[in-house]
Structure 1
C-alpha cells in the first residue's frame, strides 16, 4: 500500500466510516471481504468507478445497486486455490485413515487396531469448475483419485475433470461418488443446492466437504442427512452463520470435522491479497486491463480471464 500512497490519496476506514470515506473516492479496496457495509454506504459513492474485494467470493457485494451500476468489480481469484486444494486432500486423508478416531483413542490411552481405506481409486465429484475446483481436481488426481466436475454446463474431455456434469442435474450423478466437494460460488442458482434431495442421493458411505459458502447447504437437511448416514461424514469450513453458534449440533456430531473458515488461509495470505490489489491498482492507474473482472450478472469471473 505504501507504493499506492505515492500516486493516490489513500483513506483507511472501518465499516462505521465507510460512507464518509467513499465520498469523492474513485476506487475501493474492500479488505474485509465478509463485510456487507458497502450496501449501506452505497449512496455516498458519488464517483466510484472500481471496487476490488480481497476474496474469490463476491456475494457480500452482489446487491442490486452495484450489479446495475457501471462500477467495475474485481476479486482476488487465484490466491487461495492451491491452499484450499491441500486442505481438501488433508480432510480426505483424515477420513480415509480414520485420524479423528485415532486422536480420540489417543486421548483415552486406548490401543485399538483398525483397518483403513485407500485414497487411490476413490471417486470424487468437485462441484464448482473455476480455478479452485481445478486446483482441487489436479491435487486429487495426483494421489490416484478419479475426479469429475459439476458446473453450469456439461462437457467431455475437460483437461482437469475429464467429465463435467451440469449442476442442474446434480442429484442424478451424486450416487456415483465417494467424496462430494463443494467449491462453487454463491449465486441464486447455487444457493441451497445441497438439500435433503441431494444428500439422500449420495452413495452409502460418501463424505461431503464444503469450502465454498455456507449458504450452498441447507444446514438442517445436512444434519438430518448425517444422522441418517447420507452423507456418512462431512468436513465443513464454511457455514450459513459465522462464527458457528456454540449451541449448533454440528459441534458435537461424531462424523463432522469443523474448521473456522480457514481452508485457504496460509501464512502470509494477507500480504498476498494486498499484492493482488496493488498490481490491479497499477494497471488501473496506467489504463491497462484489470485482472479478475467479475461478471456481475453471473457473480464470478468467467473462465478464460
Structure 2
C-alpha cells in the first residue's frame, strides 16, 4: 500500500504548466512541477511518483541522484526512449506509458496519407493553385500491400484500419509469429531487408530503441520497389534522414509522409520541405482535440490503481523499450 498522500513530480517541457486535469489530484497527492534538470533535482527528493510529460527531456540523468524515494515513473507518451537512462532501465522502478491513447488517430493519419498518395491529392492541390484543369488517372487503394514495422498497439490499429478497406497488411516485430488476428503475417525484424521489395507502403510504427535506431538507411531504400512510399509515425532517428533524402531525389522510392524527424523542428531550410512527393507534419499524427485531457485521465486512473495496491496499466519492458503488452 502506498503513502496516504504521496508526492508526484511532473516533469514538463520548459514553460509548460502541469497538465490540465491534474487538479483532480490535489486532495490526494502533493504535486510538484519541474521543467529542467535543476528543477528536477529540487523536486525529486521524497517524491514517490514521477510523471514525465516532456518526451524529449534530457534532464533525467543529471537529476537522478536526487531520486531517493521513487516507486513509479509514468510517461504521457507512447515512446519512452527519453526515460531509458541506465539508472532507470536497470532499477526495479516500474515504468508505464500512454499506450492506447493515440492509436486510433495515428491509424487515421496513416490511412489518410495512403489515400492521399494513391489519389494524388497533392497534385490536385498544385493544379488548383495554378488553375489548371488536367484529367488524370489515380491508383486504387484496395489491394495495395502494407508492411507495418512495429507490431505493438499502434501498429495493430493501423493494420485493422487498412485491412478494413481491402489492403493487405503484414507486420514486422522482434520475432516472427503465426496466426495473428490483426496481421496476415508477422515477420522478424532481422528479415526486414528481404521483405521490403514486396510492399507498396512501408509504415514505421516502432519505438526508438537500440535495435531500431537507424534501421532505415540506404540499403533499405534500395530494397524497396521504385513505386513504394514510406510513412514514419514512429520516431525520427529510426530513419537516416540524409539517406532518405537521397533515395527520394534519386527516385529509388516514390514518396514519403513524415511526422517525425531526427531533428525537430525540421529546419526551415531543409531540402525535404521542397520535395513535391513528401508530406510533412509537425509530430502531430496522434494529437486529437482533447488529447491532453485524455492523458491526464489515464494517469489519474493509474494513480488510483497504485494507491489501491493494484497492478499498474501499461507497464513497459525497460530492457527492450517496448510496452510489456507490445509485440
What TM bracket, shorter-length normalisation? Answer: over 0.9
C-alpha displacement at 1:13, in angstroms? Answer: 2.6
Q: State the partner residue of 1:202.
A: 224
Find the residue that maps to 1:162 and give its secondary structure.
coil
Q: State the partner residue of 2:23.
A: 2
C-alpha displacement at 1:110, in angstroms? Answer: 1.1
Q: Any conservation in 2 of the 1:4–1:281 contact (CA below 8 Å)?
A: no
Q: State the partner residue of 1:131.
A: 153
Q: State the partner residue of 1:299.
A: 321
Q: State the partner residue of 2:269.
A: 247
C-alpha displacement at 1:304, in angstroms? Answer: 6.9
Runs of 4+ in 1 over 6 A off after TM superposition: none
Q: State the partner residue of 1:146.
A: 168
Q: Does 1:23 align with 2:23?
A: no
Q: Distance in 1 between matches of 2:31 and 2:259?
A: 34
Q: State the partner residue of 2:8.
A: none
Q: Does 1:277 align with 2:296?
A: no
Q: Distance in 1 between matches of 2:146 and 2:182?
A: 13
Q: Distance in 1 between matches of 2:119 and 2:81?
A: 35
Q: State the partner residue of 1:62.
A: 84
C-alpha displacement at 1:230, in angstroms? Answer: 2.3
TM-score under structure 2 normalisation? 0.91
Find the residue that maps to 2:25 and give its secondary structure.
helix
1:12-45 CA distances to partner (integer Å, 9 max, x unpaired)? 2322412111111110111222222122211111
Q: Any conservation in 1 of the 2:314–2:325 contact (CA below 8 Å)?
A: no
Q: State the partner residue of 1:110.
A: 132
Q: Distance in 1 between matches of 2:63 and 2:43?
A: 9
Larger mean Cα displacement after TM superposition, 224-233 or 132-141? 224-233
Q: Distance in 2 between matches of 1:63 and 1:231?
A: 36
Find the residue that maps to 1:55 and give its secondary structure.
coil
2:279 to 249, 257, 282: 257
User: Which consecutive unaligned segments of at least 5 residues does structure 2 have?
Assistant: 1-21
Aligned length: 305
Q: Any conservation in 1 of the 2:226–2:251 contact (CA below 8 Å)?
A: yes
Q: Any conservation in 1 of the 2:153–2:326 contact (CA below 8 Å)?
A: no
Q: CA RMSD in A?
A: 1.2
Q: Any conservation in 1 of the 2:60–2:85 contact (CA below 8 Å)?
A: no
Find the residue that maps to 2:293 and give its secondary structure.
helix
